[in-house]
Amino acid sequence: MNHPQVIELDHALARHHLSRLRNKNTAPAEFRQHIRSLSTLLAAEVTRQLPLEAVSVPTPIETTECQQLAGRIAAVPILRAGLGMVTPLTDLIPHLEVWHLGLYRDEATAKPVHYYDKLPADNPADVAIILDPMLATGGSASMAIEALKRWKVPRIYMLSIIAAPEGIRHVLDQYNDVTILTTAIDRCLNERKYIVPGLGDAGDRMFNT
């Protein structure tokens, strides 16, 4: 998909881990590891764009000018599957804030249901990174973005392991200032609104349920 707000990661390691992730015979422990590996690659890509500020650092030899991350950065995993993507972000950004959103898909309607939200009412982060392995219909992603917009976060990113074109379009039609990063844009959604070829239900496979 050729869109300035969509980044599909082009990396040999991403293709390798994704092949294991898609395999229906991959056990939950291995599945979680591949989620972490792919999330690390996505985290490295999204952090490439984060704002920096100048800082003076005393080395053992002299004081030199360096750069460090500027402002407050928040990760917002969508429960429950988004939890599997948090660790790579906290490893890369030690001062990261982690705020949770509880959303699940009603299987009868394929619509998102909002059941948990602990975002503050004020004092928003400067950057928020939504974490959800699957961007399918885009309903949950849009609901999460809307919650962050109400919090008045000025810069929002969406990280997904795989995404459907329908979900990407749904999000960008409403929020064209959000950047979506994914390791793969799959073919389509099926009649049950699952991504094809996809990898099944990421939460069920991750948590062996």
CA distance from start to end of the chain: 33
**What phi and psi, each to the nearest 5 degrees, are found at residue 4?**
-65, -20
pLDDT < 70 stretches in the chain: 1, 107, 110
d(CA 137, CA 188): 10
Domain boundaries, the chain: 6-50+70-207
Tokens, residue 66 = 């360096």
CB 9 within 8 A of CB 159: no
Catalytic residues: 105, 109, 201, 204
Q: Which of 65, 47, 48, 46 is CA-nearest to residue 57?
A: 65
Give the pLDDT confidence of 42-62 residue by residue, as tens digits.
Answer: 999 999 988 899 999 999 999
Give the pLDDT confidence of 2-12 residue by residue, as tens digits.
Answer: 788 999 999 99
CB-based contacts of 154, cutoff 8 Å, min separation 6:
124, 126, 127
d(CA 198, CA 109): 20
Fold designation for 6-50+70-207: Rossmann fold (3.40.50)
d(CA 164, CA 171): 11
